[in-house]
Structures are given as C-alpha cells and as structure tokens.
Structure 1
C-alpha cells in the first residue's frame, strides 16, 4: 500500500521550474481530509483526488509555497492538536475561534464537519487567492456561514481588528509563527493577543517548526521585495527549542501583565490525521536540526 501523499523516501520533492517542494503525484489522501471532502464538500470517493489536484494547480500558479506543492494543506493542523477535543467542546458551547493564517480554511471546514456551528468560526489569511480557492475546494461559496478576512498580522488597521473588537476565546495559528524572525514572532503574538479575550482559559493553539537548539535559519522562500518586508518575511526564520518558545511567551506576558501556561509536544505532525510519519522526515532543503512541535498556550 502506498504511503499517504507521496512515496518519495528521500524527501527531496520533484522539481518544477527548479523549485524542489513540488510533488507531481498525489498517491493517497489522508483519512481526515478524505472524510471532510466527502462528508462536507459532498464529493464522491473517486472524485476527491482529481478535485484536489485541480485546486492545487491553481494555488501553485499564484503561490508556489511548500504547503501547496507538498499538499500539506491535506494534513489539517487543528484536529492534530492534543487540545482538539477541548476546542470542539468550547466551540459547541458557544465560544468563538479565529484561525489565523488559515490558507484554504481547511481547519474551519474540519471543525464544521465535526459539529461546530459555522457562525462560531472565523478565518484570516494574507493571501486572498487562498480564501477564494477554499470555497472551490470545499464547494461552499454560497452556503458557508463562517467569516473570512484578508489580514496582515503586522497591520492592525485591517478590518479584522476593527470588526471583531470583542475578540475570541480560542485562536489557532497552524504553521504560521515560524515564518518570521524571533522579533517578528513576538510582534505577531502581540497582535494575536489583541484578538484574544483576556479571561482565564482563553487559548492559543497551533504547531510550527522548531530546532534541537534555538537559532535563526535561512529562509529558503525569501525574496527581497517591499511586499516581503511589509509582511514580515525576512531572509531568516527563527526556529525555537522548548526553552526559547516558553521564554518568548513569558517575556510577552510580563510586558502585557498576563500569565500563560505554555505546553509543547515535540515529534511528528499529522498522527491524528492518519499521516504517514515518513512524510515529515527532514526535507532536503530544511536546516539539519529542524524539528516539529505542537503547542498550546492558555491564559491563567
């Protein structure tokens, strides 16, 4: 039986236009993504793969990122969290969630598939094309009642901050904070905290790249443009270890007069989604010390 997504054992990708993070073949779809695309989007089992490939090619033409080229959007982040059952219970009881950096809004649709009222979920994404293609991927352009915003985490003049001043009890940041330098991550967290309700139990949950030892690493996606600078995308990322990640939140808490309980779980991603663990072996272009972790940060 073929592994999920790809059988590339060396994790080299297949270059397209000399970009290594592009896989030509989608061999199998992870079970959770298959379920959402069938049960929520209404696709037949034998229609799913071709439909995903069609949307992926449209997204790649606009934004040739690893999350698109490697089909990472099929490995949903939020259902993979150790706090997912808690998040479901909170949202079903009336709390609200913001998915910041939501890409196609796939985690939003997973929540709805699992019984969360769509009105209790909001998505935000810098790339408006991703939001538009999300409606095509899940075939719900005229029916979805969740709200979506085009938003830059470093521009609090965007509509999201103005239209949702009441804030959210839960914020999801999947594969998002690691896009920035350490200073950029701190600024992004401060912006997210302005959208989080300041009450005991409010929760920020997500996952990101880390490292055996905290350090700056080369940003292999970097292009020196004005747009990159405005979006906080510089020529390096910062990969945390457990200590530096916790310390970042403690420093921010001291600055804002807040106290957080910070938890991390290190290892592979996607286990709850039925992902093949080999998919998250070190890809050839990643720093040799790269690790992956899940986190949850709760106001106490």
Structure 2
C-alpha cells in the first residue's frame, strides 16, 4: 500500500525511544534533539516524495526492530563465530537495521541490504550523514517478487564465496546467507505471494545448522484479511497466525520455527497484533 506524495505528513507521529535516540545521535553526529528531529523530518519529506509508503509516513524507519528481536544476540554471535558470515536485511528502507547490526559488531562489508528503490538507500546516506566510502555496506535494489531477482528455484550455485561488489540479484546469494532479517515485509503481500516469498527466502540460507531467518510483521490470532481505513483509503492486508506461519517455513526446509503474537495498541486505541518469528536451520539439508 502507498499513499500519494500529496498526502500531508503528520509530524505528531515523530518520537524516538531512548535506544533509537542514542543510535541516531551516534550515527548522525547530531546531538541536539531539536536539530536531530529537524534533520529526520527533512529526510522523511524527501523520501515521501519518491516513495510514499506507510513506513515512511509513520516513522517506521526510526524503530530499531532488529535489536528488539529475541534472536538478535544469538544472531550477533553467529556473526562472531562463523567465518565470512553474511547478514541480509530484506526490505531495508533507509538501512537503519543493518546499520544497527554493524554498530553492534557485524562487519560492515558482510551486511547486505535490499529494497525495491535505490533512492531509499541513497537517502539513507543523507539520513545518517554517511557516504558509500564511509559506510561500504553492499546494497542491491530489486523486487523480491520478481523471480529474476529472487527465486526459490536456483540454478547452479558455486561453492566459492560470492563477490558482493558485483551482485546483480539476490539469486547470486542462494545457499550463502548466515542470517536474514525481514521486518514489516511479508504482510505487504497476498497470502500466495507470502508463501512463495517464504520459499524463495529459505533458498538463500546456508544449509549449515543455525542459519536463521527472523523478523516481525502484522499477524492475527486466526489467519485472515484485515480491512481498515487509513487516511480515507481502505487497506487490505492478509495476515497469518503463528501456527500457519510456522507451517510455511517447515514446508520450505528443515527449520525449527518460533512465532508469537504481541499486542500492539495503535494511537487511536485500537488493538492490533505483531507477530515476532524466526526459522532456524535445524539440520544440514540434503541436495
């Protein structure tokens, strides 16, 4: 779902929790809270002109979802323990979650980010006051529903490490990734598209036990379609429940799955549900 670039932005939605405030101060070098707010609002306005997405409208890009995930510390340990471990941030927007992982110790050149719009990554450099030289983390733009970019049916995969500087699609990473983070991504698509994307993302993981996909998105106690009014538009979103979501991953590979629902109270007082989940490779898959 997108708004239009003419949709008026609501600055009252801005607010950084203490962890995010510290992170943005450290990353941008802007220590004054009013100056930091002005900077973030300016980048938000630029981004909304080219990509009028709800996550930009509602300041979703300021929330450090990756570090709030219960698997985060174990993911960081994978980065320390596994030689040449690779982390992918799927649907990265400005790249805040990948930058958080780098801040916490994952090597910057081993974190790969992807989103459908190159402009969002470029604006991430504006937001964090960095350059491709000062933050040399690989980025690749593409549509995760396009099989030429991401497919569950890979061709021949090399055993040699991929050249991250010359990636042309996520298909170049089949079987190579140690960890994949995906927050606020799957619920953007239909039930069938989500199921297909699960299979495609599963194919990216290394078959080594412990490789993991983790994230969060909107869920429901019983799977079905949510319909709600947002800024005068009717929004439909298909949401899985934990049991059905786990089954998608278990059908896609030898995964140990975990998924829980967390209650979320919207600003208007309505109750919603966020599903926090992970799928961990439990045994070496057989080729």
Taking structure 2 as the reference length, the TM-score comes to 0.80
Sort the Cα spacing of 1:220 and 1:299 in 2 relative to 1 into closer, same or farther, 3 A: farther
**Equivalence map 1:90-169=2 (5 Å):** 90-93=78-81, 94=83, 95-141=85-131, 142-158=133-149, 159-165=168-174, 167-169=176-178
Which consecutive residues of structure 1, in runs of 5 or more, have no partner in the other structure?
A: 1-14, 222-234, 269-279
Deviations 1:67-112 (A, max 9, x none): 1111111112110100111111112334210001011100011112
CA RMSD of aligned residues (A): 2.5
Asked whether the 8 Å contact 2:5–2:50 carries over to 1, the reply is no
Aligned partners of 1:249 and 1:164: how far apart in 2?
19
Which residue of structure 2 aligns with residue 59 of structure 1?
47
Asked whether the 8 Å contact 1:91–1:120 carries over to 2, the reply is no
Q: 2:198 aligns with which of 189, 203, 216?
A: 189
How many residues align? The count is 253
Which residue of structure 2 aligns with residue 25 of structure 1?
12
Taking structure 1 as the reference length, the TM-score comes to 0.76
Which consecutive residues of structure 2, in runs of 5 or more, have no partner in the other structure?
A: 150-167, 283-287
Aligned partners of 1:27 and 1:290: how far apart in 2?
20
Q: Residue 247 in 1 paired to residue 251 in 2? A: no
Which is worse superposed, 185-194 or 162-171? 162-171
Aligned partners of 1:25 and 1:217: how far apart in 2?
25
Which residue of structure 1 aligns with residue 162 of structure 2?
none
> Helix, strand or coil for the counterpart of 2:219?
strand
Deviations 1:92-144 (A, max 9, x none): 33421000101110001111222221012100101222111111111121311
Q: 1:85 aligns with which of 68, 73, 93?
A: 73
Aligned partners of 1:162 and 1:96: how far apart in 2?
14
Aligned partners of 2:5 and 2:169: how far apart in 1?
36
Aligned partners of 1:289 and 1:41: how far apart in 2?
34
Sort the Cα spacing of 1:131 and 1:16 in 2 relative to 1 into closer, same or farther, 3 A: closer
